[in-house]
Amino acid sequence: MLPDNIANQIAAGEVIQRPASAVKELLENAVDAGATEIQLFIKDAGKELVQVIDNGSGMSETDARMCFERHATSKIQSIDDLFHIRTMGFRGEALASIAAVSQVELKSRMHTEEIGTFIEIDNSFVKRQEPCQTAVGTSIAMKNLFFNVPARRNFLKSNAAEMRHIVDEFIRVALAFPHLQFSLNSNGQQMFHLEKGSLKQRVIAILGQHYNSKLVTVKESTDYMNINGFVGKPETAKKTRGDQFFFVNNRFIKSGYLHHAVMNAFAEMIPAENYPLYVLFIDLDPAHIDINVHPTKQEIKFDDEKILYAFVQSAIKHALAQFSVTPALDFELDPGIQQLDAVTQPFTEQKKAQSANTSIYKTFMHANQAHVIDQASNLRHWKDLYEGPPAPEKPTHAHTETASVIDERWQEAATDHKVPVQVHQQFILSQIKSGFILVDQRAAHERILYERYQRALAEKPMATQQSLFPQTLELLPADAIIISEMLPDLQALGYDLEPFGQHTFVVRGTPADIQTGNEQASIEGLLEQFKHFSNELKLSRREKLVRSMARNNAIPPGRSLDTREMQNIIDELFACSTPNVSPGGRFTFISFKLNDLERMFERGA
């Protein structure tokens, strides 16, 4: 049988993955304790210290000792309690896991007691327990995370990256409980001080004062569930994620399904690649959900997701129309908005059959996906070209799919001047001696920019285009940390940025190839792409930055190109060291050989 301390370390691997995991658990315990003031102290991005001090109910001497035992919790008394959970924590794993991978000091006192309890734990073993003088409530300090598991400590990311995760967890808990006071101090500096107030005041305090007049209230109630909160007006939508929050029974959750419902509600009001702000709280009977499906409790199951989808989408559409944010909407076309029958009435077998014909249901059915290609057709690669221009009589540009002969054949054809053709504003068709090539304009431009930015970081910094009127850029706290960490590399890539107060930067210049006046969108897009690459653990920070810049600034599908722009893309692509694929591994072009075309049209028969 495993010793308790080793068993705890194994269990801790699921619960405490990084300092932010401990922050979440300790803040939620403070909320469950009935605290009205909660302070969070961080040192060295949580690697040296995570401390939470609250003025909650405190613990008796017995409870203070028992709380570090595995599955010791006072929040569950019977099996039925598992299906009616209203507290944030309930499994009794958090403190045992924290004590297994760090050095812990706890002080706690109940208001009925004159003296409190002090406990010191090291690697799950109690080193000291004694009475102490302390304020009512609990102070718990987690020091030297993973000191006894050095391999796991080595997997922690940079301080800036770990601090971003901590700020994310802090914001999620603070948004869920606006009636409580929260503060966050990092390395002796105060990052947040959030007074008690309304949800709107809390949203503005965290996300920025500029949202004060740009929030739309969402509020709908039925017998099955309630929803309240805010969405941002369409003009506040950004290219970066980060302003999206879903809470179910005050618990932050991640749900791509419900996010899709919000995006559908904003359809045709914001660009497809933008994300609206939303802070939405769904309240329903805990019997309808299962939150015990993931160690972090951020992923939950609903007994009927379709009802939630329709309810969320309808409530947001209703709110946007009510506040005259959108053009007049014909609610008669959508019975889900008009009467909310799917929510207010039982979901019978007859209604299930009816729902199969709705657009919501069809959207998620394979046969109705617009992007599904007819796999039975052997000629599917040629469908996009059937309206293209007829093949010229004499191919002149030379190229084959073999990288080693690309440059030789391309130079051989450089004296000819055949005009490339754009196909559906996505591809560039150009002749070569053996047939023709079809270039993906975005993938090709991404490869060109990627190698250009790599050279800028390794050899010569890029030119900066100074802005006539510098812009002030206010970011989310987590995004501000990302930008601060990347400032030296951003300057080498042509950005002229300076910190300007908390979470704010002044943009004085951008790379010369970025259109003037597009500074904010450029940086927001860069941030979004950087977050996209954040899960690629094998990539260095610089590599993520270069790939993000290339993807963000590449020519998008749907943009018309003139002849010179198309020729430049072709010429620059084949001057690259690796012209065949984009940085992400997609083909930049496909070769079509003349003899294959002749066979296809049975010319040889």
Superfamily, domain 4-195 = Histidine kinase-like ATPase, C-terminal domain (3.30.565.10)
Rounded to 10 degrees, the C-alpha dihedral 165/166/167/170 comes to 120
**553-567 CB burial, b ≥16 within 10 A, e <16:** bbbeeeeebeeebbb
What pLDDT score does 379 carry?
Answer: 37
What pLDDT score does 534 carry?
Answer: 66
Six token digits for residue 532: 């996209």
Six token digits for residue 519: 């500074």
What pLDDT score does 394 carry?
Answer: 38
Please, which residues have CB within 8 angstroms of residue 164's CB and are 6 or more apart in sequence? Answer: 478, 481, 482
Six token digits for residue 557: 């599908």
Question: Which tens digit of pLDDT belongs to each residue from 518-542?
Answer: 777 788 888 888 877 766 656 788 8
CA nearest to 476, candidates 226, 322, 309, 279:
279
Contact assessment for residue 5 and residue 123, using Cβ atoms and an 8 Å cutoff: yes
Query: What ranges do the domains of the chain cover?
Result: 4-195, 200-367, 374-605
What pLDDT score does 503 carry?
Answer: 82
What pLDDT score does 336 carry?
Answer: 43
Name residue 307's amino acid: I
Which regions of the chain are under pLDDT 70?
A: 1-15, 70-92, 288, 290-300, 303, 324-417, 516-517, 534-538, 603-605
What pLDDT score does 161 carry?
Answer: 84
SS3 readout for 546-579: HHHHHHHHCCCCCCCCCHHHHHHHHHHHCCCCCC
CA nearest to 521, candidates 238, 273, 278, 270:
238
Q: Is 17 helix (H, G, I), strand (E, B) or coil?
A: coil
**What's 374-605's CATH class?**
alpha beta
Give the bridge partners for 275, in sequence order: 238
Six token digits for residue 28: 């939620």
Name residue 61's amino acid: E
Say which CATH architecture domain 200-367 belongs to: 2-Layer Sandwich (3.30)
Please, which residues have CB within 8 angstroms of residue 232's CB and are 6 or more apart in sequence? Answer: 211, 214, 215, 216, 243, 276, 277, 278
Question: Which tens digit of pLDDT belongs to each residue from 145-187?
Answer: 988 888 888 888 888 889 989 999 999 999 999 999 999 999 9
What pLDDT score does 386 carry?
Answer: 34
What pLDDT score does 348 carry?
Answer: 61
What pLDDT score does 141 carry?
Answer: 95
Note the residue count of the chain.
605
What pLDDT score does 291 carry?
Answer: 61
Contact assessment for residue 102 and residue 140, using Cβ atoms and an 8 Å cutoff: no
Question: Which tens digit of pLDDT belongs to each residue from 217-269?
Answer: 999 998 888 999 999 999 888 877 888 999 988 889 888 889 999 999 998 88
What pLDDT score does 413 carry?
Answer: 45
